[in-house]
Amino acid sequence: MKKIKVLDCTLRDGGYVNDWNFGKDNIKEIIRKLNEANIDIIECGFLKDNINQFDINRTNYGSFDDLIALDNNLFKNNRTYALMMLAETYDISNLVDRSQNFVDTIRLSFHKRDIKKAIEMSKIIKEKGYNLYLQPTATMRYTDLEIKELINVCNQDIKPNSIAIVDTFGEMIDDDIIHFTKLFDKYLNDDITLAFHSHNNIQTSYSNVILFINNIKKDREIVIDASIFGMGRGAGNLCSELIINYLN
């Protein structure tokens, strides 16, 4: 039976709706409730290196210490915490070693035009000791050959913990989901988790997640992104409901 993990990205992707201004108390409460709900991976916001002054009410962080400033007691040893990094804007030389940092996972988002830069950044993220989750933005814009080339780099060189099919514009329909899922599942090494990041722009997230799950071979671990709201305004809560029903 396939193993399904849920990743909640409310505090990061949801920030496109409210300019990441959740408010300190709401940020803490969201993290606390996600812990209580046993969400497998909690994405706490963006890691950025161009923040002049940290605002504790926003989920854009200039350092890991900024996140700890919320309340170090929020973060549990048995939970995976992640921050998102944008390849096009982040200076990877500013990334500190993983060491005892409670954030153990970096999600690296990159456009196709930045793929060479993303590959080099990926190597450094791994060298620094972090789990690496790759997010190829707008996966629909890749040709099959480009997807295979990216997968080959992942299999042979980068060896990320996870790579996602990213429906950035919420435009994927049935045939797209089936095609990309089978393509990744066929060529991606079995020990690399395959994730799906959906947006609900055309109200297809629910059915797309079903198709994604059902077109994965049985023994692969998969990750489903979920959120209360985000760029697609509602994609995540549909995914969360589906996963709960599926696992029950």
User: Which residue from 149, 102, 116, 110 is spatially nearest to 133, judged by alpha carbons?
Assistant: 110
At 160, list the tokens. 């990320």
- Beta-bridge mates of residue 223: 5, 195
Burial class (CB in 10 A: 0-12, 13-18, 19+), 33: exposed
Contact 43, 17 (CB under 8 A): no
The reported pLDDT for the residue numbered 229 is 64
At 193, list the tokens. 């988790």
The reported pLDDT for the residue numbered 100 is 67
Round to whole Å and give the CA distance between 1 and 5: 13
Round to whole Å and give the CA distance between 122 and 128: 10
> Which long-range contacts link 208-212 to residues 24+ away (Cβ below 8 Å)?
208/167, 208/172, 208/174, 208/177, 209/238, 209/239, 209/242, 209/243, 210/242, 211/174, 211/177, 211/178, 211/181, 212/165, 212/177, 212/181
Q: What percent of the chain is helix, strand and coil (3-state, nearest 5)?
A: 40, 20, 40
pTM of the shown model:
0.90
- Three-state SS string over 35-85 comes to HHCCCCEEEEEEECCCCCCCCCCECEECCHHHHHCCCHHHCCCCCEEEEEE
The reported pLDDT for the residue numbered 1 is 52
Q: Would you write out the chain's pLDDT as a tens digit for each of its 248 residues?
A: 568 999 999 999 988 888 999 999 999 999 999 999 999 999 999 999 888 788 999 999 998 888 888 887 888 878 899 999 999 999 999 999 997 678 999 999 999 999 999 999 999 999 999 999 999 999 999 999 999 999 999 999 999 999 999 999 889 999 999 999 999 999 999 999 999 999 888 888 888 999 999 999 878 899 998 887 655 444 444 444 444 444 44
What is the chain's length?
248
